[in-house]
Amino acid sequence: MHYVYKQRWLLRFPIIQVIHTKRFVFAPPKGSAAAETNPSEALLDTLEESTTKSLLQYLAYLDLCMVCESNVDTWRRAAFFEETGETYKRVIAVCLRPLEQLTVKLNESLDTPSIDNSSHLSSQLYLPAKGPEYSKLCESIYDTQVCARIVSSLTARSHKEDRFGIAQLSGSNAAVISIVLSCLLAVETLMGKKTNLQSPNHLMVPAGINWATISTERRDSTVGATGKRRNSPFYAKAYEIAGILRSSIYCIVSAFHNEMLNSSKAGHLEKDWIVSGKPLYGTHELLLQKLRLFLDYQA
């Protein structure tokens, strides 16, 4: 009886921990001198200097996510859009870092074929849910999820709250869209979707602009292989990441839909929303084509 009671108590202990967990606020008290001069410094210092994947960094990302997504501490979010733009650029940079790291890792793996001519990470889609690689992927999913939510929410909020136009003028909007799109394309490739750049087809907008579509093909040659891939826990995690990235892009597209349409009609969509340098994954044409599908809510 004592053993059974002990086991039940141990099972309840994590739940008790969750119930009693409180959000840690990385900001000075509202109304204090520090809150008036530099309310974001403590948060940014923690995100930039704390150990990667540490509890402190986790709490800082969680705090930032709540500030960006909700109307909690709106005065702190307003401070991100200060006139110099330095705070906003630091916030975006520290949140794009995990997305960049995941995209680079996927790109390197997909470009390095193994003996059976399949990528190293792609072949892992067939492995069971155990081992260090699966744990690393789960960690990457969390980092990607939180950071994608932050940059998409903050970018969407900038549409109405950025009085100085910092998000657009600093190039942060283009950086966010380009990196999230690159990461999505890399994840979709990992899942077995081969994205091909196609010439404009019958899809036309009212202004007569051709919108290309993306053709996807399964890498798996047999139905059995496809089923095995989809049943893999790795595939489920990759599918989860893809869903988060698509939702993040749609969040931004919904906020800037009219502006993006006008930019597309004027032929400036790539200039306004895609970085000029080499994308982390894919090409400028591929990212632009993918963005147009999101703009038409067909991605």
Q: Please count the helices (runs of H) and the strands (runs of E) in the chain.
A: 15, 2
Report the half-sphere exposure of 49 (CA within 13 A, side-chain side).
6
Residue 18: per-residue pLDDT: 52
* Contact status, residue 71 vs residue 21, Cβ threshold 8 Å: no
Residue 118: per-residue pLDDT: 44
Helix (H, G, I), strand (E, B) or coil at 215: strand
Beta-carbon count within 10 A of 70 CB: 11
Residue 144: per-residue pLDDT: 87
Residue type, 38: N
Tell me the C-alpha distance between 115 and 39, whole Å.
53
Tokens (6 digits) for 142 = 């969390």
Domain ranges for the chain: 131-299
Q: Got the DSSP string for 217-279?
A: EES-SSHHHHHHHHHSHHHHHHHHHHHHHHHHHHHHHHHTHHHHHHHHHTT-HHHHHS-SS--
pLDDT along the chain (299 residues), means of 10: 44 51 83 89 94 88 94 93 96 96 85 48 52 64 87 97 94 96 92 70 42 42 47 77 95 96 94 93 93 91
* Contact status, residue 235 vs residue 229, Cβ threshold 8 Å: yes
Residue 72: per-residue pLDDT: 86
Q: Mention every residue, 6+ apart, whose C-beta is less than 8 A from residue 171.
A: 275
Task: Report if pTM > 0.95.
Answer: no
